[in-house]
Structure 1
Amino acid sequence: MKFGVSVFLTIISLCQLALGSQVTFVLGAQDRECYYVFNNKPGSNIGYYFAVQSGGSFDVDYQIKAPNGKIIVKENKQRQGDWVFNADQNGEYEFCFSNGMSTFAEKVVDFEIKLEDDDFRAALPNAPSQQVATDEIHRTINSLEEKLQTLTRDYQYYKTRNNRNQSTVKSTESRIFYFSIFDVLLMCGMAGFQVAVVQLFFKGSRKQLV
């Protein structure tokens, strides 16, 4: 019974590890935001995901810098990213996002960092070999992690798509509203112009009759 509880806690902890740290932040025009993750085990894998949810053209500049100052990744005008790289150094890895290309539009960005610990994956509770198949537990945990990651990615994808579609709808509504106002003003102007032309025509006709 104790072993079953330990396995359950291990699976729950692994799921929490797979989720990592996720934040949603507002990146103002001409602003730059940086986040850090500390790695104390060279050879670990660091995964990250980001997506611009709203604002402007839904793009940002970003770069990842190693503890020694070396730039690992640098991309411009990206809408989203989902990558994993090997962290072969101890220290803080820097993730920076820039909205320098925008003069007035702020961006809403979802960002997630995952630090995968292989030692944790291998740390299963001790138990007699005749009571449990360790390989089967490993396969179960890996299967749960893969399904959880797939579910998380699907949720993030649909969330991003929904936010962008809503932004497009709002932009279209705004354009229709201002176009309608312009159309009404144009019609009023044309009506006034026609009335003025008719009045001038009748004034000219009266002068000729006199």
Structure 2
Amino acid sequence: MIRQTLLLAVVLCLAVVNVNALTMQIEPKTQECFYEYVENGKTSIILYQVIRGGLLDIDVRIYDPQGNTIFSRLHFDTTMKGRQSFTAATSGAYKLCFNNEMSRFTAKVVTFTWSFEDADNSFVKGDALSPMEQSVQKIERVLQSIVMEQKRMRFREQTNRDTSENTNARVVRWTIIQVLVLVSMGVGQIWYLRRWFDSKSTQRV
């Protein structure tokens, strides 16, 4: 019994597999697409986030192997969660596209992960499950939600870090400009006072 329970726990822990993470910059007036082979009946979970650029918006589209659009949305990071899942109806190469053609000048930096989980979990469902097996199944669902939340928090931390570094760079640049202005004003005042005193001395002579 214990051996079967341990085996079940291992299978459940391996339910989410093949996680691909990528961060890229999408130039204005361009579109970047990524292909992933998905087997029939498997559920894809895509987490994405715009970490830098403009209003943190991006047009997200997902296509099936026949080229049909199965998901399309203009994503705004400030008001939406970057999470989308779908179950493959047929095996083939599914396409995920990030479209930045609506932006004229601003590039967008997007990070995303594409993971898979088995949609068919019937072998661990039903009245035949013991209380321990049901507990393991519940723990597996909780662990999956924790993993997804950790990914979202990692994306959020990256966005906040980029914002902080960008703000710090602006503060440094502004400070340098202020120092240069003060030094220029000081040099100009010294030059003007010396010229004024020199002109007074010439008039006295």
TM-score, with normalisation over the residues of structure 1? 0.76
Deviates more, 1:176-185 or 1:60-69: 60-69
RMSD over aligned Cα atoms? 2.8
**Aligned twin of 1:175:** 170
Give me the whole-angstrom Cα distance separating, in 2, the residues matched to 1:104 and 1:142: 46
Please tell me whether the aligned partners of residues 62 and 70 of structure 2 are also in contact (alpha carbons under 8 angstroms). Answer: yes
Structure 2 unmatched runs, 5+: none
**Aligned twin of 2:23:** 26
TM-score, with normalisation over the residues of structure 2? 0.78
Give me the whole-angstrom Cα distance separating, in 1, the residues matched to 2:3 and 2:104: 52
Could you list the per-position Cα deviations for residues 135-166 of structure 1 after superposition, in whole angstroms to 9, with x for gaps in the alignment? 53553243122211221123123212221221
Cα 1:104/1:24, change in 2 over 3 Å? farther
Cα 1:7/1:84, change in 2 over 3 Å? same
**Aligned twin of 2:109:** 107
Q: How does 1:48-197 map to 2 (within 5 A)?
A: 48-52=46-50, 54-57=51-54, 58-79=56-77, 81-98=82-99, 101=103, 105=107, 107=109, 109-118=111-120, 121-123=121-123, 134=129, 136=131, 139-197=134-192
Could you list the per-position Cα deviations for residues 153-200 of structure 1 after superposition, in whole angstroms to 9, with x for gaps in the alignment? 231232122212211221122112111111111011101111122122
Could you list the per-position Cα deviations for residues 13-32 of structure 1 after superposition, in whole angstroms to 9, with x for gaps in the alignment? 22221x33322223134361
Structure 1 unmatched runs, 5+: none
**Aligned twin of 1:10:** 8
- Count of aligned positions: 195
Cα 1:160/1:9, change in 2 over 3 Å? same
* Residue 115 (structure 1) shift: 3.6
